[in-house]
Every structure is written in C-alpha cells, then in structure tokens.
Structure 1
Amino acid sequence: MTRCRLCGSEAMTSVVDLGATPPCESFLAADQLDQPEPAYPLHLRVCTDCWLAQIPPLITPEETFTQYAYFSSYSTSWVEHARTFVADAVRRLALGPDSFVVEVASNDGYLLSHVVDRGIRCLGIEPSVNVGAAARDAGVPTLTRFLDPATGADVRAEHGPADLVVANNVYAHIPDVVGFTRGLRALVADDGWVSIEVQHLLTLIEENQYDTIYHEHFQYYTVASAIRALASGGLALVDVELLPTHGGSIRLWARPSEVAGEPSRRVTDVLDREKAAGLQELSGYTEFSARVAKVRRDLLKFLVEAAERGETVVGYGAPGKGNTLLNHCGIRPDLLPYTVDRNPYKHGRFTPGTRIPVLPPERIAADKPDYVLVLPWNLRAELVEQLSYVGDWGGRLVFPIPELSIVEVASGRVTA
C-alpha cells in the first residue's frame, strides 16, 4: 500500500503485520480440502496525515459478499441490540408511519424486522444474495445491490429520501470509503439522519483486539478519522455513542453538512480520549505489535500444554475474527480438533487456512471436553450463560483476548 485511500497521502506507517491468511469467511467444503487456497497479506498501517488505519484492498467486496456465511440473526444479543436501537431511534427522531428508513448492509433483516413490526416503511440494501433472500422471506423489503452514489440516487428516485439511514458494521467493509459515503448522502433526506456503527480503533488497540483485523475490514476508525471520512461525502458528525458491541464500537450520528450544526459534547470528549491515547501521533501504535505477539504465545502455550496433559480443547464459534486468530497462531486440528457454530450454513465445512471442522453445537455436550475455546470473545456475557452446561462435567471456558483467561462456568470466576 503506497497511498491512503481517504486522503491520498503516501505517509503510511506499519502498525502490525499478521502475515498472510485466506479471506476469513471463505469456509471450505470437504471436496475443496485438496485444492489450493489463496492467502493474502494482512498488514495494518496507519496514515500519519489523516490517521485512518487501513489494510490494502487485496480482495473485492464482490468476492466476499455476493454469497456470505454470516447471518446476524444467529446472535441473540445482536438481535436484542438491534431491537433496542430501533426503539431508541424511533423516539429520538420521532419516526412514524410517514417515515422512511433505509439500512445498508441489512443482512438477513435482523434490524429492519423491528422497523416492519412498527409499521414504518423501510428498505434494506444488501449485496449478499443468500442473506438478502432470507430477509425477504422474513418480510423485510430488500434490494440486492452494493451501495455507491448511483445506487443511492436510484433508491432515492424510486422510494424518496430516507429520514434515517442505518449502516451498522459496514463502514469498515468497503474499500471506496469516499464513494460509499457519497452513497449515504444520496440516500438521506436533506434534513435527515445517518447512524453508523463501527468498531472503535481505540478499544482495538487498548484491548489487543487484533483478531478483528481481517480482509473484509479495509479500515479502522477513530472518531477523528471518521469525521474526515464523513466530510468526504458531504456529511458531518453531530453526536457519538460508545457501545460495548464487538469489544467496543462507536455509533456515529451524522447529518448533511448544511444542517448539522455544532457537534455534541460527547464528540469532543471522545476526541480528547483518542488524543490522550496517542492515536493522532505514532506513540499510540508503537507497542501494539508486541502485545499481539504475546496473545499468540500465551494461547499456543496453553494449547500445547493441555495436549501434553491429555486434556481436550474444542472451539465454540466460527466467526471471521476467529479465523484471523487461528491463522496467526498457526492452530490446526492437532490442537483444536473442531469448533462448533449455531449457523447451519457452516456445518460440515472447514475453517479457511487452518482446516478445522465446523460442527453443530450439540457436539460439545456429547464429547464433554475439558476446555472450550470461545472464538467470538466479544459475546462473552451471552456465551458464558449459553455454555453454562459445560460446568456440569467440570469443563471450563477459555477466552484468548484481551489476554488469556480461563473461566469456571459454575461460578463465573476467572481462575487464570
């Protein structure tokens, strides 16, 4: 990567190099195991002019999102998060029967279903054919397209401007951040609102959340860099909320620049936190690579020592972040014979790169392993409750990030 995709600067500095891995959602079928598997460099850099952290666009969104293995509705906590957001947005913006809500990257309708239930007109824009079909089956109107300025203009011409445009966990997934932002502006009414949720680079750095770096995530935002990205498309940040989702996210409330006015005190407070953490100078990034290396060493040491003691360790979950972790650590079926996932789309498939089988969740209770390595660590509270049955035979849960911890499920007490 020679130039920043936001400002065009060549002032790019390495943050962490995770080697080369396959795309994190390219799960393998059994008949693909003897075929070559492409891997791409995974190297995070930061632009020291606009401070947008980013990886090179080595794969296209079309390669990843035309058919997609992730269905949001399989996460109980994520569906509840969406329900709460819709209820709050309806109150905040006084949305009603005459309003129009558009969600970009609407997945399987997990969020807009709550809008439909309230009798509010809505439309999902979802590029993945399979998950978009699931949304339509659930009664959520969904257009199968990628968002760009032309798509935004077409939707506006056919359906009218949107009072609220929602873009949750997609602003990092598009390499053309300027074109995507202009698409958001084309969708939203001149006096409307845009709500964006995206992982916060501040918590990624502070909490060693390096497994959220993968090829689908082209950029990693602070509030400061998000302000610059929004401005590139004619939007201005009005307010920000700090969220616990995905280990720490920001919800950006933006409006067309002409009507935005001054940002809230919360925007100023978060900008001050980012500056204090050194994220607008190189000092905030220099130690990250060393802390990432320690996560790898600690997890491998645990798995190797458990194997030498004759103890069994299996995985829970097959998220994209888990595949970054597994590949970076070099974990194979000799140390983790399988992982399980609630999403039946992944059953009978194998994790990219590491070739670990993905099985139904019931396999854990059948095998009664000594340890369950939880790969979607961001759902810790939800999964400690869901996996409480592991304690019935004395099994324990292992969380690898932000540092290795072993949880006795019966008491919830961290023992290591």
Structure 2
Amino acid sequence: MSGKAAPVTACRACGGALGAVFCDLGTQPVANSYVPLERAEAPEPRFPLRAVVCRGCRLVQLDTVVDAEGIFSDYAYFSSASASWLDHAERFCTAMTRRLDLGARSFVVEVASNDGYLLKNFVGAGIPCLGIEPAANVAAMARAAGVPTETRFFGEAYAHELVARRGDADLVAANNVLAHVPAVNDFVAGLSVLAGPRGVISIEAPHLVRMVDGAQFDTIYHEHYAYWSLLAMEAVLGRHGLRVFDVERLPTHGGSLRVLASAADRAPSGTLAAVRAEEVARGLAHDAFYEGFETRVQATLRDFRAWLWQARTAGRRIGAYGAAAKGNTFLNAAGVGAADILAVADRSPAKQGRLLPGSHIPVVTPEALLALAPDDILVLPWNIGAEIAGQLRAAGFAGRILTAVPAMRELAG
C-alpha cells in the first residue's frame, strides 16, 4: 500500500473551517493493509487517525487523507463473506425492483460494487446492470461470478463517459461507499450525472447519531474519510442538484440510514421528516453534540484493557474472530499485540496466513482457531456478532464469546 498521506486544512465537502476534535486515536497503520509473513519485520507506515468536525456543514471527517489508490487498488474486504449481509443485499434488490418497477429495459449501476454480492440479484432477475469497483482483485471476483464490472475509480468525468455509452441509470446504488470517498464533491457530482433527471440514487451509510450513541469509535479508520449525518449528507447532495425524498433506518453496521435522492421533485416521506427532526432535537448543528465522545472511547478502552489483564492473569487463552478493519482500529487503539491474543479467525482466504496490521496477530481459518483451544473468543466485528456466535456454537465452541464495544459483554450464541 502507498505511504502517501496529506493533511486536510478545510472541509472536503463545503470548504469550511475544521473545528473541534471528535476523536483522536493516535497514529495507526491502514486498517486493511494485512501484513504478509515475509514482511513481518518490515516497518509499517503509520498515519494520524483523528476525526474532526466541520464548523460549517458539520461533517465529521479525518484531518489526514491517506492515498485512496494505495488503499483500494488491492483490497482485502469481500462483501460475500457475511451471510447476513448477502440477505440484506437481496432484500434491497427486491424492494427497489418493486418500488422503481425495474425490468429488462432498466439500467442499474452500483458504485463500489465489491465482489458482485448485490448486483448478482439483478443479474439473476434479468435486469441490465453494471458494477464499478476500483479494487482489481475484487472486481475480478465479481466478473467471475457473472456480474458485469468495470475496474475504475468513480467521479464526474467517468460518469459522463458512462452515460455517453450506456445512457442514464434508473437506479444508482452507492451503498456504504460515501465514507470511503476523499473527493466527495467529484463523487456526488458523478452520481448526479449518472442518475440524470429521473433516476434514483440510493446511499447507505452508518448514521453518526448511532455511532455516537454506541461509542462506535472502531468504525474510524483511514479507509473511512468521513462519518455521515443526514444533515451533512443533504448539504452535499443539494450542492449537486439532488433532493433527498426518503430515508430508512437500518440495523446494519450498528445503525445506518438508507437515503434516497433524485434530481426530480418527489414528495418527501414521513420518515425523512422524522430523521431530520431527530437530528435537530439532538443538536447536530451545535458543538455540544460532538463533545465528550472521546472521553467515552477512552473509558471503553480502559475497561477492555482491565478485562484483558484479568483474563490473562487467570491463565485464560484468548482468541479473536473477524479480521475486520474495525477490529484493527480497536486492537491498535487498545495497544493489543500478538502476545495477548492467540490468533484471529476469518473466513476470507485473502486474509488468512497474514498478520493484522499493527498488532501482528496471525490470521487463521476458523477451524485453526478452534484447534488452539481458546477459553474466550473476542468478536471484533460486533455488528455481526450474533451471526458469528451462532457459527462458533455450531462448530462446538463452548467457551465465552464476547464483544468489547461499547462495553464488554457476552454474546448468547
């Protein structure tokens, strides 16, 4: 991965002044840069991991940007690894097909389409579609699965090129990608071009309100350049002629919003009004909402370190599950290393046989982790904790299964 990084001196959305620090997690390696065994002794690039608040549009964003091409050109995240996420994608496709009356004469585009996890549903329904995925290794998997995919970074110029070739899209899905975009105005301008005057844009993003409520600091990492409220999202969409007309609250990623927008004038939904009202009531336009988050983060880390010390003092063998980016943020913020945790299990072959960035905990198969006979397993991707706990119990694990965010707790499994 590239070692290029640059400080941010103004809001990347509105150009306004950056204000208070929301959360400072020190310097960390890039969360999805898994370390090959042969490079275990080589120094890892580390960059400041600090989120601040724009004084103008209130977008929470990192104040250091790590080169996106270095992060995403060869990526280790595969959406199809989670059964619950595949179910979520299938439900989305079914709902949007009905709502927008999509069919054989329609055109659906997903930006940041990963391994085809979502678009394969449209392929199966005979609805013309195209994936746009910057990571060459991931895009190749999508094409192998029969999902038409172009390996490109998305922006306004590419959107004009695509419209010239294929025409406007009826649906543009940009789900769980907005956080990953450093040049957000170029990206949103591209969405507007691609959807044209009548198409619908669907954006899913973790909701900043739920992030604050759940002390979800481990979703802060270099691949996530920004953390979105409806307030900030409506501002950047409106700058490019897009009007939000509906919002859906989702349980995914600890609490997300699905935002539907279009250049066309559509009647706003009641849920949109409700989410707007919630953010006003919570004070997202004012400094007080953003204060105190880091204090809660440090309390979570202290509690985890105390639990870890007690468990290790008692001679308990501790494993982890899920080599997720959020887990890497958490482990590095907590100062955990390979001496503390036996190994972390992950179903992704792209991660197995490597070391976690920073902590250098080895990544193994789930079967290999269970063979190490841990007493406790810490689930790092807490957002799918119930799914993982069920898998571990089905595989015969009888020990404690725990998560640490926002506080230590056992999962039933």
Aligned-partner Cα distance in 2 for 1:93–1:327 = 44
Equivalent AA in structure 2 for residue 330 of structure 1 = G
Deviations 1:208-227 (A, max 9, x none): 10000001111111111100
Q: Which amino acid aligns with 1:345?
A: A
Aligned-partner Cα distance in 2 for 1:240–1:262: 12
Choose which of 102, 105, 108 in structure 1 pairs with 2:112.
105
Residue number in structure 1 paired with 2:314 = 309
Q: Which residue of 1 aligns with 2:3?
A: none
**Are residues 1:217 and 2:230 paired?**
no
| CA–CA distance in structure 2, aligned partners of residues 137 and 291 of structure 1 | 45
Kindly indicate whether the alpha-carbon contact (under 8 Å) linking 2:172 and 2:195 is maintained by their aligned counterparts in 1.
yes
Partner of 1:180: 187
Name the structure 1 match of 2:400. Answer: 396
> What residue in structure 2 maps to residue 290 of structure 1?
295
Scaled by the length of structure 1, the TM-score of the pair is 0.95
Quote the Cα distance in structure 1 between the aligned partners of 2:411 and 2:155.
Answer: 45
Q: Distance in 2 between the 1:354 and 1:369 partners?
A: 18
Task: Pick from 227, 237, 243 the counterpart of residue 230 of structure 1.
Answer: 237
CA distance in 2 between counterparts of 1:32 and 1:113 reads 36
Contact 2:48 2:64 (C-alpha < 8 Å) held by counterparts:
no
Secondary structure at 2:76's aligned position in 1?
Answer: coil
Q: Determine if the alignment matches structure 1 residue 76 to structure 2 residue 83.
A: yes
Partner of 1:147: 154
Whole-angstrom distance in 1 between the partners of 2:155 and 2:359: 35
Partner deviation per Cα, 1:223-252 (whole Å, 9 max, x = no partner): 111000111222111100010111111101
Work out whether 1:268 is the aligned partner of 2:273.
Answer: yes
SS at structure 2 position matched to 1:58: strand
Q: Is 2:76–2:351's contact at 8 Å kept on the other side of the alignment?
A: yes
Give, in whole Å, the separation in 2 of the partners of 1:8 and 1:368.
Answer: 53
The verdict on how the C-alpha distance between 1:393 and 1:84 changes in structure 2, with shifts beyond 3 A counting, is closer
Offset of 1:408 from its aligned partner? 4.9
Q: What is the identity, as a one-letter code, of the residue corresponding to 1:136?
A: R
Give 1:366's aligned residue.
Answer: 371
Q: Does residue 300 of structure 2 align to residue 300 of structure 1?
A: no
Query: 1:57 deviation in Å?
Result: 4.2
Which residue of structure 2 lines up, in the alignment, with residue 413 of structure 1? none
Aligned to 1:26, the other structure's residue is in SS state: coil
The answer as to 2:22 corresponding to 1:18 is no
> Which amino acid in the other structure matches residue 266 of structure 1?
T
User: Helix, strand or coil: the match of 1:346?
Assistant: coil
Q: Distance in 1 between matches of 2:50 and 2:275?
A: 27
State how far apart, in whole Å, the 2-side matches of 1:215 and 1:227 are. Answer: 23
- The answer to whether the Cα contact below 8 Å between 2:324 and 2:381 also exists between their aligned partners in 1 is yes
- Cα separation, 2, equivalents of 1:100 and 1:340: 39
Following superposition, the deviation at residue 308 of structure 1 comes to 0.5
Partners of 1:140 and 1:25 in 2: CA distance: 24
List alignment gaps of at least 5 residues for structure 1: 410-416
Q: CA deviation at 1:263?
A: 2.4
Q: Is the 8 A contact 1:4 1:12 kept in 2?
A: no
**What secondary structure is seen at the aligned counterpart in 2 of 1:145?**
coil
- Give, in whole Å, the separation in 2 of the partners of 1:165 and 1:261: 17
Aligned residue runs from structure 1 range 112-123, under 5 A: 112-123=119-130
* Contact kept? 1:254, 1:260, Cα under 8 Å: no
| Percent of matched pairs sharing the same residue | 44
Shift of residue 358 of structure 1? Answer: 0.3
RMSD over aligned CA atoms reads 1.2
| AA aligned opposite 2:134 | P
**Is 1:318 aligned to 2:327, yes or no?**
no
Count of aligned pairs = 406
CA distance, structure 2, for counterparts of residue 24 and residue 380 of structure 1: 20
Amino acid at match of 2:32: E
AA at the equivalent of 1:290: T
1:34-73 equivalent positions in 2, closer than 5 A: 34-73=41-80
Residue identity opposite 2:400 in structure 1: R
| Kept after mapping to 2: 8 A contact 1:179/1:233 | no
DSSP-derived class of the 1:172 partner: helix
User: What's the counterpart of residue 249 of structure 1?
Assistant: 256
Flag structure 2 segments of 5+ consecutive residues without an equivalent.
Answer: 1-7
Q: Given that residues 237 and 254 in structure 1 are in contact (C-alpha distance below 8 angstroms), is that contact kept between their aligned partners in structure 2? A: yes
Is the aligned partner of 1:380 residue 2:385?
yes
CA contact (8 A) 2:337 2:359 kept: yes
Residue pair 1:227, 1:236 contacting (<8 A) in 2 also: yes
Partner of 1:9: helix, strand, or coil?
coil
Task: Tell me how far apart the structure 2 counterparts of residues 34 and 288 of structure 1 sit (CA, whole Å).
Answer: 35
Secondary structure of the residue that 1:241 maps to in structure 2? Answer: strand
Contact 2:108 2:127 in 1 (8 A): yes
Change (3 A) 1:102 1:300: same
Q: Contact 1:57–1:175 at 8 Å: present in 2 too? A: no
Q: Which residue of the partner structure matches residue 138 of structure 1?
A: 145
1:96 aligned partner, one-letter code: G
Alpha-carbon contact 2:29-2:45 (below 8 Å) kept: yes
Aligned to 1:406: 410
**Shift of residue 12 of structure 1?**
1.6
Q: CA deviation at 1:272?
A: 1.4
Match of 1:414?
A: none
Q: Aligned equivalents of 2:400 and 2:280: distance in 1?
A: 39
Displacement, 1:11?
4.2
* CA–CA distance in structure 2, aligned partners of residues 203 and 284 of structure 1: 12
